[in-house]
Amino acid sequence: MEKKVYFTSEFVSPGHPDKICDQISDSILDACLKDDENSRVACEAFATTGLVVIGGEITTKTYVDVQKIVREKITEIGYRPGMGFDADCGVLNTIHSQSPDISMGVDTGGAGDQGIMFGGAVNETEELMPLALVLSRGIIQKLTKLTRSKELSWARPDAKAQVTLAYDENGKVLGVDTIVLSVQHNEEVTQKQIEEDLKEKVIKPVLEKYDLKIDEVRKFHINPTGRFVIGGPHGDSGLTGRKIIIDTYGGYFRHGGGAFSGKDPSKVDRSAAYAARWIAKNIVAAGFATKCEVQLSYAIGVVEPVSIRVETFGTGTVDEEKIEEAISKIFDLTPRGIEKSLSLRKPSFRYQDLAAFGHIGRTDIDLPWEKLDKVKEIKEALK
């Protein structure tokens, strides 16, 4: 009998309490960078019943209407009166300026903090992303679209999807084993209608996009408690930065621990993680591995990365040490080099869009770190 290995990833909707906070933090960042591209931002949000608290450190030359940004984002996400949380909530602003001890190192082009960042790529999908993460994200994107268009009139903003894949011993995807989907709903809808609508209108089209059949899924858990009326920050408090695995690879690759949302690009937690994805994707696309993970590390106030590490999990066609040497020559991995290469301070760029549906492997928006613009250089360096 063939041995199966299982792997699971999850994704949450823009209406999840933590994701509300991520989007608020990045909306404030966007407002700062729009009028002052040199803004220093480290903005956190906390949401609970009837209240959003904004904190952190911001140094900018522009004025940001925090109250307006918070209320507009909550309305955009889809919360209305009667749901236990809406735009008519209290907003407490406790932001202050960045510590001069930190800015002293950043001003000279150094990293805004020490830390480790990871990026990865794998040939399970066309976008070189882990399939379990792509499927769970696709389900949430489809669900959100139908909720906002009112095609699923019973659905409310808060939701979670989870997909378990079965692999063979060689790492080949055999199929979808289990799908878990919990969707906040109104009082009137029945469990039967919820299950029928979600399977037919949400899950089925997402699976078909990747040549998978809904009839071959072994098990479904749809709203497994039987009721999900109370949701959003009224059901659970939300906090910026608590969904970092969803933001990246769904646990398929390692994560350094630093969150992205609310941080300007001088924070290497964010910018270097994007750069690591850019590097790994180009390595896989160049044909030197089918699965690749890149680790970068930095010291506060130091310009160059402390270390570069490449892991190809036995799929590499050349020495990992040679790939690391090529990376240091091809990519400018100083904080300012990353900012420039990936246009991370471009005023028209919307970080809040990343906060809603993930920062890595997106195909619905044009992201600089998803470009395969270094494939030729990598091939030249490693030939």
Binding residues for Mg(2+): 18
Indicate if 226 and 274 belong to the same structural domain: no
What's the pLDDT score for residue 106? 67
What's the pLDDT score for residue 374? 98
What's the pLDDT score for residue 112? 78
Q: Kindly state whether residue 208 falls inside one of the protein's structural domains.
A: yes
Q: Kindly state whether residue 137 falls inside one of the protein's structural domains.
A: yes
Residue in 98, 77, 61 with CA at minimum distance from that of residue 26: 77
CA-to-CA dists, residue 290 to 146, 176, 255, angstroms: 35, 21, 19
Q: Kindly state whether residue 278 falls inside one of the protein's structural domains.
A: yes
Helix (H, G, I), strand (E, B) or coil at 322: helix
Q: What residues of the chain score a pLDDT lower than 50?
A: none
Indicate if 284 and 375 belong to the same structural domain: yes
Indicate if 275 and 223 belong to the same structural domain: no
Convert the pLDDT of each residue in 72-125 to its tens digit.
Answer: 999 999 999 999 999 999 999 999 986 665 555 566 677 878 999 999 999 999
What's the pLDDT score for residue 109? 75
Binding residues for L-methionine: 57, 98, 236, 267
Convert the pLDDT of each residue in 299-310 to its tens digit.
Answer: 998 999 999 999
What's the pLDDT score for residue 1? 63
What's the pLDDT score for residue 2? 74
Binding residues for K(+): 44
Indicate if 224 and 272 belong to the same structural domain: no
What's the pLDDT score for residue 107? 63
Indicate if 300 and 221 belong to the same structural domain: no
Indicate if 202 and 279 belong to the same structural domain: no
What's the pLDDT score for residue 128? 98
Indicate if 278 and 325 belong to the same structural domain: yes
Q: Kindly state whether residue 54 falls inside one of the protein's structural domains.
A: no
CA dihedral 347, 27, 71, 258 (to 10 degrees): -170
Q: Kindly state whether residue 153 falls inside one of the protein's structural domains.
A: yes
CA-to-CA dists, residue 175 to 32, 132, 172, 179, 211, angstroms: 45, 10, 9, 11, 10
Binding residues: 16, 18, 44, 57, 98, 158-160, 227-228, 236, 242-243, 259, 263, 267
CATH no. for residue 283? 3.30.300.10
320: domain range? 115-122+253-258+267-382
Convert the pLDDT of each residue in 148-177 to its tens digit.
Answer: 999 999 999 999 999 999 999 989 999 999
Indicate if 281 and 345 belong to the same structural domain: yes
What's the pLDDT score for residue 99? 63
Q: Kindly state whether residue 27 falls inside one of the protein's structural domains.
A: no
What is the CB neighbour count within 10 angstroms for residue 176?
23
Q: Are 49 and 81 in contact (CB under 8 A)?
A: no
Q: Are 120 and 253 in contact (CB under 8 A)?
A: yes
Q: Are 152 and 197 in contact (CB under 8 A)?
A: yes
What's the pLDDT score for residue 108? 61
Binding residues for ATP: 16, 158-160, 227-228, 236, 242-243, 259, 263
Q: Kindly state whether residue 174 falls inside one of the protein's structural domains.
A: yes
Residue in 221, 273, 265, 224 with CA at minimum distance from that of residue 245: 273
Q: Kindly state whether residue 63 falls inside one of the protein's structural domains.
A: no
Q: How many domains does the chain have?
A: 2
